[in-house]
Chains A and B, each alone.
Chain A
Amino acid sequence: MADAEDLEAVKARLKTWEGTTLKDSLKALPERRKEFVTTSSRSVRRLYTPLDVAGKSYSERLGNPGEFPFTRGIHPTMYRGRLWTMRMFSGYGSAEDTNKRFKYLIEHGETGLSVAFDMPTLYGYDTDAKEAKGEFGTCGVAVSSVEDMEILFNAIDVARVSTSMTINSPASVVWAMYLAMAEKRDVPWTKLRGTIQNDILKEYEAQKEWIFPPEPSMRLVVDTFEFGAKEVPQWNPISISGYHIREAGATAGQELAFTLANGMEYVRWGIDRGLRVDDFAPRLSFFFNAHNDLFEEIAKYRAARRIWAREMRDTFGAKNPRSWLLRTHAQTAGVSLTAQQPEMNIVRTTIQALAAVLGGTQSLHTNSYDEAYQVPGEKAVRIALRTQQILAHESGVANTVDPLGGSYYLEALTDELEEEAYRYFDRIQELGGVIPAIRKGFFQQEIANSAYRYQMEIEDKERIIVGVNDFVVDEQPEVEPLKVSEASYRAQLERLKRMRRTRDSKKHERALDRLRRACDGDDNTMPLILDAVRARATLGEICDVMREVFGVWEEPLLY
């Protein structure tokens, strides 16, 4: 970025500085520690200079925002044109409870919806299944049928608001419920905007909410790509997620590498199905974590865009520039929240949200300070949303595009993360690709190793967590409790029972039979799932059919 003559001068000046100014300083005041590292244990040097970005072309590495390789952002004007979508992940109890929470958030300025489902829903069980015991609504909303979906979005204009749904193994079923709900309200599918997470690969690697083995699961995912491209063109049928990989213990570099490796695996499966890459790639979306280490996080987002653009254009031959764009959602790091002095989590979340915004995210969820204890209370959620609003309207960071672009440190970090990702791509390839690597427990072991190392650093006080291993106070934290009501549970059970009793049982049975045949064959499952949902088949019933045909996954045990 600097010309050759300048670089020589910089080098000379640096050498002199090291021998004089720096040397004197170190003598008078030695540095606090021998090695400084990021949250991901990446070694950080004392100073970054033009030498660290020497020989790298601005146009090739960065380019202008809205242009290849999109390092500086996917839009030419970024937040000057439109702020990121403030999208708070929420759900607890029944569809009624969560519908109220959605309305509360919209009233307070939230600009997109994001649904958290409870554990039974995530595993394709109805509220009344024996496996669901004790899990109703505790960490998300229970949705067992299209009727629950209708209540969940009651009096919310789904033609206007975009909705993200964190659902993976049963994603196509839950999506079908959303589509059937819209259909009933006469909202054309072409108007619907939103995302289903539908990222099964990271479930095997990190989040562990899987049902079926990898191959049939991938088939279901590609079914949604194909169906979505034709029928619901503004919908993102997948959100390729690093978030959970990171939460499970991965470093920033591993999060970046594994997520993009997964992303490329989906592209390969889409192409193998016979889809044209430019027909589905523009609707692939991403989801990254925003952890504590400000610069490393910002660098991660920038590296992700650059790698994705290059791979899509050069490896997969995508011609449509929209296929090259890595559009992403971000969420602050739940794993960083402390149970000790929980108010401090507001500060952590602010730093993390700042990283996501400086990293150029398209939408953002901010965690609430009480989440080391429970699903957040109303006030805690409002503070979290306000944090985003302060960043957007008071901090000034949204005034210019990629304000940190050109920082020697940030650019060097961006390059380093990119190189690390490519080293991992090679290792995954050596293992035979993403799915064989999952079977061998490669990702799982890498993540567990990083999680353990991080914990040992805290244990040994090499890493200070304020309020946890230093600056400790002895006090009882104040958290406003949020309990799922017994009445919600009973109402949900009652609704399910009534629906099972009153639906057309012949139609229901026929729809499930047809779905079973489709699962057994090669037809796209989406239209059949939709028919089953319309016939009031429940989530559990549909997933049972799939469990029967596809079998269930058993993961390699390791720690």
Chain B
Amino acid sequence: MATKIRVLIAKPGLDGHDRGAKVIARALRDAGMEVIYTGLRQTPEDIVEAAIQEDVDAIGLSCLSGAHMALFPEVVKLLRKRKAGDIVVAGGGIIPEDDVPKLKKAGIKAVFGPGTPLSDVVEFFQKAGKAKGA
């Protein structure tokens, strides 16, 4: 039996809007993944530390406060620094269209805006987990 895909769902920065993060966490869990939810107000350092400790395959970041440009790329940067650049990072939240290509360039593999079907998100993490060999 294949091991379960492990995903960290994290809320970086000060944003308290956790509806989306919680719905995603539950959808991934219901799809058979192992989900670790960090809770609110995590720094990029906290998130990377948790990801490495928990040995996750992928990270889902959620931010609705507009601070995504300062926080999402930082997570990727720190992962690479810790030689954990193979952990796949995706993001979601209130993100202006113009920022999407910039985030992708910074190593965020997918950006999920409002209205994204849960099935798309589940599929993304399934693929990410398989690619990493989970």
Chain A interface residues toward B at CB < 8 A: 119-120, 122-123, 125, 131-135, 138-139, 203, 207-209, 247-249, 335, 337-340, 371-375, 448, 451-452, 455-456, 459, 465, 467-469, 476-477, 479, 481, 484, 555, 557, 559
Question: Are A135 and B98 closer than 8 Å at their CB atoms?
Answer: no
Question: Are A559 and B14 closer than 8 Å at their CB atoms?
Answer: no
- Chain A residue numbers with a CB within 8 Å of B85 are none
Question: Are B19 and A138 closer than 8 Å at their CB atoms?
Answer: no
User: Knowing A451-B22, A459-B117 touch, does A120 contact B66 (C-beta < 8 A)?
Assistant: no
User: Knowing A122-B14, A373-B96, A451-B22 touch, does A134 contact B69 (C-beta < 8 A)?
Assistant: yes
Question: Are A119 and B13 closer than 8 Å at their CB atoms?
Answer: yes
Question: Are A555 and B40 closer than 8 Å at their CB atoms?
Answer: yes
Question: Are B39 and A555 closer than 8 Å at their CB atoms?
Answer: yes
Which B residue's beta carbon lies closest to that of A554?
B39
Question: Are B19 and A451 closer than 8 Å at their CB atoms?
Answer: yes
Question: Are B19 and A248 closer than 8 Å at their CB atoms?
Answer: yes
User: Knowing A134-B67, A374-B96, A559-B25 touch, does A249 contact B19 (C-beta < 8 A)?
Assistant: yes
| Cβ of A284 to closest chain B Cβ, rounded Å | 24
User: Knowing A451-B23, A455-B118, A459-B117 touch, does A481 contact B16 (C-beta < 8 A)?
Assistant: no
| Cβ of A51 to closest chain B Cβ, rounded Å | 39
For chain B, which range describes its interface: under 10, 10 to 19, 20 to 34, or 35 or more residues? Answer: 35 or more
Contacts between chains A and B (CB distance < 8 A), count: 108
- The B24-61 residues at the A interface (CB cut-off 8 A) are 25-27, 35, 37, 39-40
Given pairs A132-B14, A247-B19, A459-B117, 11 additional interface contacts (CB within 8 A):
A122-B14, A134-B13, A139-B64, A248-B19, A335-B19, A339-B115, A455-B118, A479-B96, A555-B39, A557-B39, A559-B22
A455 to B16: give the CA distance in the assembly, Å: 19
- Chain A residue numbers with a CB within 8 Å of B65 are 119, 135, 138-139
The verdict on B114 contacting chain A, using a C-beta distance below 8 Å, is yes
Chain B facing A: main interface SS: loop
- Chain A residue numbers with a CB within 8 Å of B131 are none
User: Knowing A119-B65, A451-B23, A559-B25 touch, does A208 contact B94 (C-beta < 8 A)?
Assistant: no
User: Knowing A138-B65, A559-B22 touch, does A209 contact B70 (C-beta < 8 A)?
Assistant: no
Question: Are B71 and A477 closer than 8 Å at their CB atoms?
Answer: no
The contact sample of 7 A-B pairs, CB cut-off 8 A, is: A132-B14, A208-B40, A372-B114, A373-B94, A455-B27, A465-B115, A476-B97
Question: Are B115 and A468 closer than 8 Å at their CB atoms?
Answer: yes
A527 to B26: give the CA distance in the assembly, Å: 46
Task: List the 8 shortest-distance A-B pairs measured between CB atoms, nearest first.
Answer: A134-B70, A138-B66, A208-B16, A559-B22, A119-B14, A134-B67, A468-B115, A559-B25
The verdict on B113 contacting chain A, using a C-beta distance below 8 Å, is yes
Question: Are B67 and A119 closer than 8 Å at their CB atoms?
Answer: yes
Which B residue's beta carbon lies closest to that of A456?
B118
A481 to B97: give the CA distance in the assembly, Å: 9
Question: Are A340 and B14 closer than 8 Å at their CB atoms?
Answer: no
